[in-house]
Every structure is written in structure tokens, then in C-alpha cells.
Amino acid sequence: MSQEFDVIVIGAGAVGENVADRAVQGGLTVALVEAELVGGECSYWACMPSKALLRAGEVVHAAKTVDGAAQAVTGDIDVAAVLKRRNSFTSDWNDSGQVDWVRGAGIDLVRGHAVFTGVKELSVTAGDGTVSKLTARHAVVVSTGSTALLPDIPGLAEAAPWTSREATSAQSIPERFTVIGGGVVACELATAYATLGSRVTVVSRGALLANQEPFAGEAVAESLGAMGVELHLGASPASVERRPDGVVVTTLDDGTAIEGDELLVATGRLPRTGDLGLETVGLEPGEWLRTDDTLLVLGSDGKPLEGEWLYATGDVNHRALLTHQGKYQARAAGDVVAARAKGEPVDDAPWGRHVATADHQSVPQVTFTDPQVASVGLTAAAAEKAGHSIRVVDYEIGNVAGASVHTDGYQGTARAVVDEERKVLLGVTFVGPDVQELLHSATVAVVGEVPLSRLWHAVPSYPTISEVWLRLLETYGRDGSA
């Protein structure tokens, strides 16, 4: 069977869905191709199930930090109820609801694995072996995401370790749980499993959350330690062995043997591009797809492919491996494809809406550990490396009246990185309970390059934790001096 569409989108995760929807709204016909579940990684194995696993622990811990509420917390977390609630978030890994949305949006869904057979041409093999031939009149968009990286550690592959997929979809909680890695996924899932009763051990070659401000990783490490998590930082796994009674990780530095019932590997991501037939169109399989700011894929010469027809959005282009940034790219790409199909200008569109630039430096991210880490823009180290003249302003969030009302003995830190030449914010980091709700205000300030002189007139409500904005400005000083 052969079919022709204006646009073909490969990958029906949150990013691909948004590309397709935007293109349809632009008046184009769209085929959305998916080999697994419609809704993708975020819906079934990442953002949503992981936060569902974390939430019960967050609520219980928050209650225990407020006198009066603490006395009401007399039992343990009901693990079975947590897992049941998590299952509801994934609709028990049934995508019928999302399929209904796709069809209702006027998008044609094609199930199966897509492989390029030529320029704007794809072969899609369904689960029953049926093959469909699809042709795009204007564009193909690759939104296939990323997959877990398994480092080259002797015995690791044979030990059948968990990745984030197995950890977020597990139907029981192991008594002993070992985590290799120190990034966001490792820290979040170590937190979740510790609150659900596992004895957790984390093995990381470096500090936790090494790409964040140093105090963020230190606060998370202290919190994990207080939960009973055993931390082996600065330790590299030398070998892994699956035994009848569990998995053993031996560290390189001192030969320590760490025993666990299950092992999670969270050391990075790889692009899902190895089996798409990219060699057919002159690209390297298994590599990230570099793009320009209109999300056009660039060839080895740094230029878009001839005909400017291939786009890449989300994790697969390695610009910012976050769902919200991928959806942002998707909206831009869908608009750009529709504009080019109609012969409309792209670069001078209203508000620059056809160009993605917010994923260069002003990327917001929340790590849902306890305490949470919320950041946007550059860290102090990254800003200095980029050659900016900066001043770093820190403030203890617990000194804000709203924080004391929120939690007894609130502990947290806010940091603003100021561009001293332009007097605007380059980056902001918050660490503390519920600081994720402060992040969008910081994102607006950083992305909008709001002068500090104007931020003085953005008055925070009292008593709320957002009053930390005023305290940061006061610490900086109205004239730039404390």
C-alpha cells in the first residue's frame, strides 16, 4: 500500500504529536508513524510515571516537616497504592486514549517501524509484517527520541540491568537497589526507591548533578544520605555480575563489592537513529541529528540536505534532552514546515515563532529529588567559561518569611548569576522544597533579559517563597553593590 502526505513525522511521543498537530493546524496533511505506544517515553517510561513514583514520598516528607501535621503521619507509605496510582498515569501502558486524540486532531496514525528508502520516502513495517510505502510532499520530521546508554563495563550487558524504562514500570520494589550514575535520572529514581522502602546504593564517577551549581548536588547528596542511601561518589564500576541471589557491582578504585537485587544504569542517552536507514539519505546511522534553528537537519558539511526537507525535533537532535524543550522545538518545526510549504517567509514571522532559540542557553530544568533542584540558564562556571563578566548572588531561602510558613526549618538556596555588563540575569538556580514553582518566573527573567532595574518593580506577594526574588535583588544592591 502506498500513501502520500504533505508531512510525515516519525515518532509519536509528546514531541512528534506536537509537530503533527502544529502542521495540521497549518493546513497540511500529516502521517504520524509509531512503532511502540502513542505518547512515547514521557507518557509511559519517563516524566509521568517517575513523578508518580516520587509524589507520595514528597507529600509524606513535607507533612513531617510541619509541626501539627507531623503528628498525623503515623504509618508507612502504601507501596502497592503508589504503584497502582503510577499505573493509572500510564493507563496501564495502553495508548488508546492518545490514539483517539491523534485521530481527533486530524492526524493519520501509521503503526510500525519506519525506514528511509529515499528522499521523502519511507517504508513502514507493521507488527504483522505488513509493509506500507509513505511519501512526503514537503517534509519528513524525525522525532524518535533517545534510549539509555549502557557503558562498556565488563559483565554489564549480560547482567540484564534495568534502564529507566524498567525502573519506572516495575510492579514491585526490590529490597536492595543499586544505581550506577549521578545525573537527574539516577538521583530521582534513587530518591523514589528509597522512599518506597529499598536499600539504595548509588555509584557515580563524579559528584551528583555535576552539571548544576555545586551546592545543588551537595544538598541532594545530603538528603539521600539522610534517607539511608549509601553513596559511592568518585567510584567507577570495574565489573558487574548477575548471580542467582542478585547483581554484584565491583568498583574500580578499591574493589568494593556492592550487592543488590536489581541494578539501574542511568549514565546517559543515545539517539534512536541506528535503524532508520539514514544512510539512504547520506546521514550516519546511530548519530545525533544536528539541526539549524528552524530544526532542519544538517549534513556533514554543516548545511541542510538538498531540498531542505528533513527535520529533527526533541532528544534526537541533542539540543536539549527535555520533554518541554522538545515540545517547544516541535511547535517551531510544525510552523516552519507549514510556512515553507505555503511559500511564506520563516525568519520574519510574528514574534520569531518559526525559529527555536530558547534551547541554546535559557533551558529550564527541574530535578524532582528531595529537595527539588530548579534551574534555568547558565551556571556560574558555565557563564565564566563563556567569557561573561559576572557576579554571583546567593540567598538562603529559609530566611524568607514565606518559607518559614511553608516548612519548619526550611532549608534551601537561591543563586542568581548576573551579567555585570548588561545588568541582566544569565542564570538562576533554586534548591529547596517546592522550588519548581519558582522556575517559570526565573525563565521569563532570563529569556526576556529583563534588566535588574525593572525586576525591582516586579513585587512578590507576601508571605510566599517567591519573596526570595526581592532578597536576591537586595543582596545584589540597587546600584550593583551590596
Domain count, the chain: 3
Residue 42 annotated as binding site: no
Residue 145 annotated as binding site: yes
Give the per-residue pLDDT at 354. 72
| pLDDT beyond 60 at 482 | no
| pLDDT beyond 70 at 481 | no
- State whether 443 and 382 are in the same domain: yes
Q: Is residue 117 in some structural domain?
A: yes
For the chain, the straight-line distance linking the first and the last C-alpha, in angstroms and rounded, comes to 71
Residue 182 annotated as binding site: yes
Give the per-residue pLDDT at 407. 93
Residue 247 annotated as binding site: no
Of 302, 323, 352, which one is at a domain's C-terminal end?
A: 352
Q: Is residue 84 in some structural domain?
A: no
Q: Is residue 361 in some structural domain?
A: no
Give the residue-averaged pLDDT of 82-86.
98
**β-pair partners for 5:** 136
**Domain CATH for 246:** 3.50.50.60
CA angle 183, 239, 227 (to 5 degrees): 40
- State whether 197 and 106 are in the same domain: no
Residue 206 annotated as binding site: no
- State whether 301 and 433 are in the same domain: no
Grade residue 450 by pLDDT with cuts at 50, 70 and 90: very high
- State whether 248 and 280 are in the same domain: no
Q: Is residue 454 in some structural domain?
A: yes
Residue 315 annotated as binding site: yes
Range of the domain at 208: 157-267
Whether omega for the bond prior to residue 463 falls within 30 degrees of 0, making it cis, is: yes
Give the residue-averaged pLDDT of 118-142.
97
Give the per-residue pLDDT at 147. 97
- State whether 105 and 216 are in the same domain: no
Residue 428 annotated as binding site: no
Tens of pLDDT, residues 236-289: 999 999 999 999 999 877 788 999 999 999 999 999 999 999 999 999 999 999
Are 63 and 69 contacting, i.e. CB atoms less than 8 angstroms apart? yes
Residue 114 annotated as binding site: no
Radius of gyration of the chain, Cα coordinates, nearest whole angstrom: 24
Residue 181 annotated as binding site: yes
Whether omega for the bond prior to residue 371 falls within 30 degrees of 0, making it cis, is: yes
- State whether 256 and 344 are in the same domain: no
In 3D space, the residue among 5, 42, 34, 44 whose CA is nearest the CA of residue 109 turns out to be: 34
Give the residue-averaged pLDDT of 415-440.
97
**Domain CATH for 403:** 3.30.390.30
**CA–CA gap between residue 475 and residue 467 (Å, rounded):** 13
Percent pLDDT > 90 in the chain is: 93
Give the residue-averaged pLDDT of 157-176.
98
- State whether 13 and 128 are in the same domain: yes
Of 352, 379, 397, which one is at a domain's C-terminal end?
A: 352
Are 251 and 238 contacting, i.e. CB atoms less than 8 angstroms apart? yes
Q: Is residue 109 in some structural domain?
A: yes
| pLDDT beyond 80 at 465 | yes
Q: Is residue 379 in some structural domain?
A: yes
Residue 379 annotated as binding site: no
- State whether 314 and 394 are in the same domain: no
DSSP E strands in 143-266: the ranges are 146-148, 176-180, 199-204, 230-233, 237-243, 246-251, 257-260, 262-265
- State whether 162 and 256 are in the same domain: yes
Q: Is residue 294 in some structural domain?
A: yes
Are 368 and 54 contacting, i.e. CB atoms less than 8 angstroms apart? yes
Residue 16 annotated as binding site: no
Give the residue-averaged pLDDT of 358-385.
96
Residue 183 annotated as binding site: yes
Residue 419 annotated as binding site: no
Q: Is residue 62 in some structural domain?
A: no
In 3D space, the residue among 384, 330, 378, 321 whose CA is nearest the CA of residue 353 turns out to be: 330
Of 352, 384, 403, which one is at a domain's C-terminal end?
A: 352
Give the per-residue pLDDT at 348. 62
Give the per-residue pLDDT at 345. 83
Residue 188 annotated as binding site: yes
Give the residue-averaged pLDDT of 335-352.
81
In 3D space, the residue among 256, 201, 249 whose CA is nearest the CA of residue 227 turns out to be: 201
Give the residue-averaged pLDDT of 379-399.
98
* Residue given cell 534495568 in the structure block: 162
- State whether 260 and 320 are in the same domain: no
Are 176 and 198 contacting, i.e. CB atoms less than 8 angstroms apart? yes
- State whether 168 and 260 are in the same domain: yes
- State whether 7 and 136 are in the same domain: yes
H helix count then E strand count, the chain: 14, 21
